[in-house]
Amino acid sequence: MGERRISSVPGMQDLAEPEAGLWRRIERRFVETCRRYGLEEVRTPIVEYEDLFSYSLGKSTEVVQKEMYSFPEATGRRLALRPEGTAGVLRYVSESRPATEDVRLFYYGPMFRRERPQAGRRRQFHQLGVELICAADPVADAECVALQVDVLRAAGLGNFVLRINTRGDLGDINRVTQGLRQQLHPFLPELCPDCRRRYETNVLRILDCKRDGCRRIVGRTPEPATYLSDASRSYIEQVYAVLDRLGIAFRVEPRLVRGLDYYAHTIWEVTHPGLGAQDAVAGGGRYVVQIGTRRIEGVGFAVGMERLIIALQREGAGLPGRREIRVWLAAVGEEARAANLKLACQLRAEGIACLVALRFQSLKAQMRAAAKSGAELVLIRGDEELRRGTIRLRELDSGRERDLPAGRVLEAVRGVLGPLGGRA
């Protein structure tokens, strides 16, 4: 048993300041935006039974076949770390919500996929997600897209592209799949090895291939839309019409494909030019999933947090400022330290962020620390102040100092800091 160096697990990273502050801000704005659309929060477990994902996402999908972290429970039944958020939310709906109710939900948290890490791709990644559980209706789909756009704007993102397409219903999907197989069959030898594999596993993906040779061949096949039933065509046209009325800019992307089996009808993807190869910052669509005996329909989307952060940084978004410390309590001597801690707690009770040294330090060291913390005020207390029952208040910008009776300190601090009530 050789000792192994302790490190974080590949593809799973620590999140610390100042980035953590940016995450907090984005999550807060996400929640606010969702609330304006009347959504409720749901937090589902990170671990589910593996079958939930294989059935809902599709057994042959890449995610289920080779990207899931799964392991047997003591009983032998297999568990899995969730690779995406929708399945768990729908499981919750099937267990806890009446089938007749429309449900509007949002969630956020970590997801796990065993992929090779890359720019904008981690093994633990985080999504902000929304699910509107409701029957197929173009207006519902359009509202979901509107919320998608609002969520990204609220996060501060400007420069994204919304690409929309439809998969049609299950009948359409079958017709497209079969039709494409027929059309592509003669060209099979000319397709790249990946596409020859896709021909069997996931024909639609061939539409997405980046190789010139494959693109040329795909260009000669009819667009998937030609296989759509009249009803499906009319459905997506209505979605587009409502989006136009909302003034939402989007591009119809006839070759846009999604990788999970549950999608039907409207699908979309949001890309960002700053992202590199993994350029989808968000994606969503309408879906139908069978959970046990219940068939659940809805429309939803997920935003990739890590990618959103990258995109924001490419747009030059700044990180939030440093800590919110406003007062530093400096002590000379142990007696004064203890007295300061008590005062610090009183200040904190009033909402004033303040710090005391965690160990014995010279006054000089404490002053340095105070300046570095960004505090505006230092309260100094030593033997002399203890004897006289005073505290020295120093304003760091001006260097002005005055001695105050200890009982007056709270009032004086309030006066100097001005109206409280939290900085943004």
91 contacts RNA (rule: CB under 7 A): no
Q: Which range in 34-42, 173-181, 243-251, 296-304 contacts RNA by CB under 7 A?
A: 296-304
Tokens 């593996």 sit at which residue? 50
The DSSP code for 32 is H
- Closest distance between RNA and the C-beta of residue 204, in Å? 9
Q: Which of residues 128-187 bind RNA (CB under 7 A)?
A: none
- Closest distance between RNA and the C-beta of residue 214, in Å? 9
Q: Which range in 19-27, 160-168, 342-350, 390-398 contacts RNA by CB under 7 A?
A: 390-398
- Closest distance between RNA and the C-beta of residue 78, in Å? 19
21 closest CA partner among 314, 319, 318: 319
Instruction: Characterize 340-365 residue by residue with b for buried, 16 or more Cβ atoms within 10 angstroms of its Cβ, and e for exposed.
Output: beebbeebeeeebbbbbbeeebeeee
Residue 165 and residue 268 in contact, taking contact as beta carbons nearer than 8 Å: yes
Tokens 């160096």 sit at which residue? 5
- Closest distance between RNA and the C-beta of residue 304, in Å? 3
Contacts of 41 (CB under 8 A, 6+ apart): 31, 34, 105, 106, 107
Contacts of 231 (CB under 8 A, 6+ apart): 169
- Closest distance between RNA and the C-beta of residue 162, in Å? 12
- Closest distance between RNA and the C-beta of residue 318, in Å? 19
Q: Which of residues 19-58 bind RNA (CB under 7 A)?
A: none
Cis before residue 117, ω within 30 degrees of 0? no
Residue 293 and residue 341 in contact, taking contact as beta carbons nearer than 8 Å: no
Among 26, 339, 380, 413, binds RNA (CB under 7 A): 380
- Residues in the interface with RNA (CB under 7 A) total 74
Q: Which of residues 227-286 bind RNA (CB under 7 A)?
A: 257-260, 269-270, 276-283
Half-sphere exposure in the Cβ direction for 142 (13 Å, CA): 18
Among 101, 200, 212, 397, binds RNA (CB under 7 A): 397
Among 353, 384, 404, 414, binds RNA (CB under 7 A): 384
User: What stretch of H or E contains 148?
Assistant: helix 138-154
Q: Which of residues 188-207 bind RNA (CB under 7 A)?
A: 194, 198, 202, 205
Terminal Cα distance for the chain, rounded = 52
- Closest distance between RNA and the C-beta of residue 88, in Å? 14
Among 147, 191, 289, 302, binds RNA (CB under 7 A): 302
